[in-house]
Chain A
């Protein structure tokens, strides 16, 4: 496991991430904050998440592999321990809650579908995604 992401690392990338999110969602940057939830607060759709990722990849010259969050959150759990037919197990949900520590705990619902996980993402989730990708690229 790599070292925990620090507040300073998140804050360093935040302005450019917030800008990318605002542009992708055609919103005023003032409407975006670190803890805005992309879907619930900023009314993103799934295609907007793709747009945000494309913009971040270009802005930071990084690669954000699809499905990386789920893979990282699963860690050393086997797929069967993590999910059952696309539904998160109790252990899987606990792992995800740890991994997405920036998401308020009451947003996680038991028997959540893996496909719905992106609806939890906040702007900080995207910042952490960028930091991890930059670390992976050795930047």
Chain B
């Protein structure tokens, strides 16, 4: 970019970092020289692979198994991270689940899993991190939203509601933390080539592509670039914003 992003030596926490967009975010921060701790819920093998590949490049990446739905587990991960690195400079709330179903058929479990992971989980980890940022009068929080927060497809009432909540949470927290110079922004990806969006891409096919101005799906790294930009010193004057990384979704 324009030279030094200011991220070398910074401490970054990423939730849901073992796969897809989260993994790309972990890898890009690590490449910028940040010390990255990521949370993963399941998939120990994938998490170990991220750590191993980072280590091979000489990057500092730590994996922590924790479910963001558990506030005590979130607090413990944050405290261990602070003990290791002395602070938390950047938090990326990335972990989320999709349980698509038409509203009348939506199982209570499909609603609760989505809201508890995508919304309550964000509250849990953010509440554990914010005190550290407040006392240091610095910090950057980036929430991964989705185009679904504004324009969802069929069967996405639960997921769309969770991402709409994240957009509102982002703006409200930006107001609350601005006096302490902590910025809070969101990145809203469109259809990105990950295993999580595979079903949607398969189901919607050409119909989905026809709604994307750039006529292709996004790559995880293309979302990570926006996240790392918002965490960098180049974005010090940006807060309360939702940045769409969606190839121009539904603009035609």
Q: Please list the residues of chain A having a beta carbon within 8 angstroms of any beta carbon in chain B.
A: 24, 26, 45, 47, 50-51, 54-55, 58
Q: Smallest CB-CB separation from A55: which chain B residue?
A: B135
Q: Give B contacts to A, CB under 8 Å.
A: 131, 134-135, 137, 176-177, 179-180
A24 to B179, Cβ gap below 8 A? no
Chain A residues within 8 Å of B137, by CB: 26
18 A-B contact pairs sorted by A residue (CB < 8 Å)? A24-B135, A26-B137, A45-B179, A47-B134, A47-B176, A47-B177, A47-B179, A47-B180, A50-B131, A50-B134, A51-B134, A51-B135, A51-B180, A54-B131, A54-B134, A54-B135, A55-B135, A58-B135
Q: For the complex, what is the distance from the CA of A50 to the CA of B177, rounded to whole Å?
A: 12
With A47-B176, A50-B131 given, name 4 new contacts (CB 8 A): A47-B134, A47-B177, A51-B180, A55-B135
How far apart are A43's CB and chain B's nearest CB, in angstroms?
A: 11
CB distance from A19 to the nearest CB of B (A): 13
Q: Which residue from chain B places its CB closest to the CB of A45 in the assembled complex? A: B179
How many whole Å from A26's CB to the nearest CB in chain B? 8
For the complex formed, measure the closest distance between the CB of B6 and the CB atoms of chain A, giving whole angstroms.
22
- The docked-state distance in angstroms from the alpha carbon of A58 to that of B83 is 13
Q: Taking the nearest CB of chain A, how far is it from the CB of B82, in angstroms?
A: 10
Rounded to whole angstroms, the CA-CA distance of A51 and B182 in the bound complex is: 13
A26 to B, closest residue via Cβ: B137
Give the chain A neighbours of B131 by CB distance below 8 A.
Answer: 50, 54
With a CB–CB cut-off of 8 A, which chain B residues contact A55? 135
Please give the distance in Å from A103's CB to the nearest CB on chain B: 25
Within the assembled complex, what's the spacing in Å between the Cα atoms of A64 and B235?
Answer: 35
Nearest CB on A from B130, distance (A): 9
A124 → B minimal CB distance (Å): 22
Assembled-state Cα–Cα distance A55/B131 (Å): 9
